[in-house]
Amino acid sequence: MAVKSKKNGKEQKKKKQIMIAGAVVLCFCVAAALIAVFAVPKEEKGNNEPETDYADAETEKKEDAASGSSYADIEIQDYGTVTIRLDQESAPITTENFINLAKSGFYDGLTFHRIMEGFMMQGGDPEGTGMGGSDQTIVGEFSENGYDNDLSHTRGAVSMARSNDYDSASSQFFIVHQDSVFLDGQYAVFGYVTEGMEVVDQICESAEPTDGNGTIPADQQPVITKITIR
């Protein structure tokens, strides 16, 4: 019987290792080829860019058109402009009254006669004393008067002023400086400030009322240059 030399045994073992290594490489190449053919690419340049959204302003305009919302720009002399989004759905009568008065020029040149820091600033009185109004009054659109209006007197809320009579609101309105939710259900909120709260802050913080009711001397009352509805 022939006996294999150690040298021949080593050569055969080496050939066997080379064949195994070659087989492994071949398997990896086949697997890679299959992955390349069947795998779904995660990204392709130029085809996975996010869809361009409409500009925020345009989207907001469409939403406003659908809900019937309008904006009011209150220009205040020496201070700036306060923009209000009017809520015609929650307070339709109040909003229509405000819009009609603004469009007629009623508010042009009137003032904010009552200002209380941390509470509110009130204006829209042709007499500048808190005792005047327009030629007509409207119903109070708030829960205590039987109307479904859940808008709250939080910072930036715009609401109608009135006397003890629930249906005595006319032209006077107030802008809430800081949360005053104790008024909820008793006064008709009809919108919220969307721009210009820094103007409200400046007016309220710099005001020097002559009494605890926020009365401002006639020559110091901030003037409403114009209210524009859009």
| 200-221 per-position pLDDT tens digit | 999 999 999 999 999 999 999 9
Has residue 95 got a pLDDT over 60? Answer: yes
Decide: 191 and 158 in contact? Cβ < 8 Å: yes
Q: What is the mean pLDDT of the chain?
A: 81
Has residue 62 got a pLDDT over 90? Answer: no
Tokens of 191: 């919108």
Whole-Å CA distances, 86 to 67, 73, 154: 11, 11, 15
User: Which amino acid makes up residue 119?
Assistant: F
pLDDT for 136 equals 96
Q: The pTM is what?
A: 0.73
Tokens of 108: 């042009």
Decide: 159 and 153 in contact? Cβ < 8 Å: yes
Has residue 156 got a pLDDT over 50? Answer: yes
Residue 3 main-chain phi, psi, to 5 deg:
-105, 125
Separation of alpha carbons 204 and 145, rounded Å: 30
pLDDT for 229 equals 98
Using a pLDDT cut of 70, give the percent of the chain over it. Answer: 70
Tokens of 4: 């294999």
Of residues 35 and 21, more confidence is placed in: 21
**Burial (0-12, 13-18, 19+ Cβ within 10 Å), 209:** middle
> With b meaning 16 or more CB within 10 Å and e meaning fewer, what string describes 47-86?
eeeeeeeeeeeeeeeeebeeeebbbbbbbbeebeebbbbb
Of residues 44 and 104, more confidence is placed in: 104
The model's confidence at residue 143, banded by pLDDT at 50, 70 and 90, is very high
